[in-house]
Each structure stands twice: as C-alpha cells, then as structure tokens.
Structure 1
Amino acid sequence: MRLENIVWDALDPRRLGSFWAEALDAEPLTDQPDLFEARLQLADDVFLDLCFPRVPEKSSSPPRLHPDLVGGPRQQAVADKLLGLGAVRADVGQGDVPWVVLADPEGNAFCVMDDRASYTGTGPIAALPLDSADPERDAEFWAAITGWVPCPGSGDMPALRHPSGVGPLLELCPEPEPKQGKNGLHLDVRRDVGEVDVTDRLVGMGASLLGGDGLPWLVLADPSGNEFCVLDA
C-alpha cells in the first residue's frame, strides 16, 4: 500500500479545491460539482492527490489532522499569498509561536511554518500532523500501511516520510483529548496490485473496519480512531 490522498470534506468542492490547488501549485485533475481533485507532484514518481468531496455538513469535531506549509525565510510572503487567495488569520489558542496560523475558505486551520532543517525537500507541505493516543504505536501502524519510514521530525514526536526523502513529514502528535466524531480531513492509501484482501491484516494491526460495502474502497480507522480509506489497486 502507499499513501495517495489528502482528503478535505467540502461544502463547496470547487471553491475549496481551487484555493488549495493554487496555494500549493497543484495541477487540477477533476472538477465536478461534487468532487474536485488536484495532484501535487513531489518527484517524478512521487505525488499526493488533494481530494475535496462534497459533504452535506462539515464536522464540528476538533480537528486532528492539518497541513503545515513551508514558510521559512519566505514565511510572511507565503502567508500574504494565502491571504490574497481567500485565507484568513485564525486563533486556535496558539499564543506566541513562530508560525502563522491561518484558515482556508471553509474554516480549516493550517500553519505556515518557520525555518526548520527537517523540512528540507518537502515541497510546499512541510508536515501533516496527526493526533494520536499513542504516537509510537501509531507511527508503526502508519509506516506499515504507507511504506513511509522513520525520519527526524521537527520536535519530539515520531515522524515518517516517503523513503525517497521527498514530500511532507507525517508527524504523530500526542492528542490533546480523545477523538470525537468524524475527522474533517483524512488520508487515503491505495493497495498495490496483488493485494486483494487486506482487512484482516489491518484489523490485526489495530485498525477498525467502519464500512465500505458497495464502494470501491474500504473505510477504516487507525488505532486512535482516525478515519482512512483503502482504495482498490
């Protein structure tokens, strides 16, 4: 399996997807009333797809996943560009920190980061912090289902990265509170050719099967309850 998608629940897929595609210089792939998709090419054979399916209402649960964008010496210029595209400044209780907190046009908070050596070569997304009840355990889980490998992070939390050394870090962060409700952002993995039935293996690793009957993907949750989908090969 490999990590393929970052998925934002969207009330207006075109508006939200167009914001993120322009913010990250991603190439639009799908522009339909109920789905917008764009591809963030990180290297010749490494990419992440950004997916924005329409939902009837946004989750009111505290966010557990968000993108941290590369800022560094250009932090203010990056923030100004995003504000010009429709982002707004946000207060999530961050206090006095060296990063800039913004929210996209549908209120999803994200950060423009300060300069950190661990973000070298990540592309426009520096990191994907994911809340976890047990970061060490969940780092092993996500490494097993993505093929990503441990790497130096930007703090004390475990971090993973594509084995090529390009693209964002997946950081497993101690959760401030147990998960409540559905995540508004989630990750999708795609199984490889020949991987037919992965459900038993994933459940044996601590995942929970949430659904997928009649769909071309499985819906599961990681050991901390964070939803993810397993797409067909």
Structure 2
Amino acid sequence: MALRPAHVNIKALDSSAVGLFWAQALGWSAYSPGVTTYVGPPGGPVWPDPVVLGIDVVPVPERGTTTKNRVHLDLATTSAAHQTELVERLTTIGATPVDVGQGEVPWTVLADPEGNEFCVLEPREIYRDTGPIAAVVVDCVDPRAMARFWGDAMDWTVHEVADDHATLRSAKGVGPYLEFLRTPGVKNVPDRVHIDLLPYPGDDKEAEVARLRALGATDLDIGQGDAPWTCLTDPEGHEFCVLAVS
C-alpha cells in the first residue's frame, strides 16, 4: 500500500489570479473546472499527471501571515541567462523579491502575488530533467525522520538522507523532487502550501489513512466537515490531505 502525490495545494484569496500567475510562471495552463484553479501542462487537465506535479490553487477567506512558509517551490533553470530571464519575467507578472535571511546565494528568492515564497535556482545538473518545478521544499527539524515518514507514506523513492537534508523522487525518475531541509525554528502557523496525496484505484482510502496514522500522522480539523478528503499533519505538523479516488 502506498499513496501518490496528486498535486501541490496553494491557498489564496484570489485563486484565479494566483493560478494565472503560476501558469504564466511555469509555461503551463490554468484550468478552472470548479471553485479551484488547477495549473498544469497545456493540452487539458490531467490529474494526477503521470510526470509533473500540478498545482491546485484553492480559495480561502483569509490572507496568509507574514511568517515565512515552511513549504515552498524551487524552480529550475538551464543556464545563467535563463535564470536571469526567468527572474525578470516573473517580476513583470507580479512576483516580488523577498529577504528570508538567505544572504549571498546563487539563487533568487521571490514571492508570488499573495506572498508565497519560492526560489529561482541557478542551473543544477540534478534538476536538468525535472521540468519547470525542480523541487517541493519542506523546512523541518529532523530530515531523517521526515524522510522515513514520507518515504513510507508515498510510493516515491528516498534518494539521499543526511542530518541536514533528505530527498525523495518518483520511482519513475520523472518530475520534481521532494526535499526536506533542516531549518531553525518550528512550525507555528498553518501552511499556505502543502501536498495532497491520492490512493491508487482499487485501494481503500480509509485503510491508507489508518496506515498514515500508524506511521505518525495526526488528524486535523480545519472545518472541512464531511468533505470526501481527510486532513492530516505529518510528525512535524505540516498539513496534507488524502483525497478520495474518483
């Protein structure tokens, strides 16, 4: 039994505007079949996409806090010129430079129109085939423990584990990485960005949720009521949802 990542979930006051920003940023398309805006490669929504990790922008009634998100996206580039061009283009469509204490680093830290931080990386060989999203990055206290939990929760492969970082990627060797970075501080505000997981067809969602609880997940009530998805937190309090198979 294992779950697969369905998409990255981003909360926004204006989900249409934020969805359009991310579609333009990634060279993808924005689809709004309902109340949320799904961002994925052109050609029509494929959910979950077998290669990339799409973005689902969900409307919420409140703006995020000024506290730095502990989950963010890293964007890949193929050359120094591409990095410069991408940063310039992103700022023209609504991104703003932010200082999160990064100091002198080769990557650029920006925020989307509602303040969600992300990084535009310098060219790195490891991300040459990920597509526009290089990684989903999670700040944490214990990368080893997070790799154990998420490695057991999902069908992705653990690639690297150390005291200060850990990485996972799809066993198919495609799409972005999921990375855990040891970061000072602890999570103390709700995440504006999280990953949604999905059972495989034929698997029992409630059995998967019970398995996650046994691994260390905790139930979370955010007022979802009788929604078909289940809200949980991982061992360090990062929210995520287990969706129902349609």
CA distance in 2, matches of 1:98, 1:67: 16
Say which of 126, 129, 147 aligns to 2:137: 129
Q: Does 1:51 align with 2:53?
A: no
Write the letter of the residue equivalent to 2:97: R
Is this contact kept in 1: 2:155–2:171, CA < 8 A? yes
Aligned partner of 1:85 in structure 2 is 93
Q: Does 1:207 align with 2:217?
A: yes
Is this contact kept in 1: 2:220–2:233, CA < 8 A? yes
CA distance in 2, matches of 1:149, 1:158: 11
Instruction: State the Cα RMSD in Å.
Output: 2.1
CA distance in 2, matches of 1:95, 1:166: 31
CA distance in 2, matches of 1:205, 1:167: 26
Aligned partner of 2:243 in structure 1 is 231
Is this contact kept in 2: 1:8–1:53, CA < 8 A? yes
CA deviations 1:167-191 (Å, max 9, x no partner) are 1111111132111021111110001
Aligned partner of 2:28 in structure 1 is 26
> Taking structure 1 as the reference length, what is the TM-score of the superposition?
0.91
CA distance in 2, matches of 1:219, 1:120: 34
Q: Does 1:64 align with 2:74?
A: no
Aligned partner of 2:39 in structure 1 is 38
Identity %: 38
Q: How many residues align?
A: 230
Deviation at 1:8, TM superposition (A): 1.0
Is this contact kept in 2: 1:59–1:181, CA < 8 A? no
Aligned partner of 1:160 in structure 2 is 168
Q: How does 1:90-169 map to 2 (within 5 A)?
A: 90-151=98-159, 157-169=165-177
Is this contact kept in 1: 2:52–2:176, CA < 8 A? no
CA distance in 2, matches of 1:35, 1:121: 28
Aligned partner of 1:183 in structure 2 is 191
Is this contact kept in 2: 1:199–1:209, CA < 8 A? no
Write the letter of the residue equivalent to 1:25: G
Write the letter of the residue equivalent to 2:72: H
CA distance in 1, matches of 2:194, 2:168: 16
Deviation at 1:152, TM superposition (A): 5.0
Write the letter of the residue equivalent to 1:225: G
Write the letter of the residue equivalent to 1:54: P
Say which of 5, 9, 12 aligns to 2:11: 9
Unaligned runs of 5+ residues in structure 1 are: none
Is this contact kept in 2: 1:158–1:171, CA < 8 A? yes
CA distance in 1, matches of 2:21, 2:191: 20
CA distance in 2, matches of 1:190, 1:53: 17
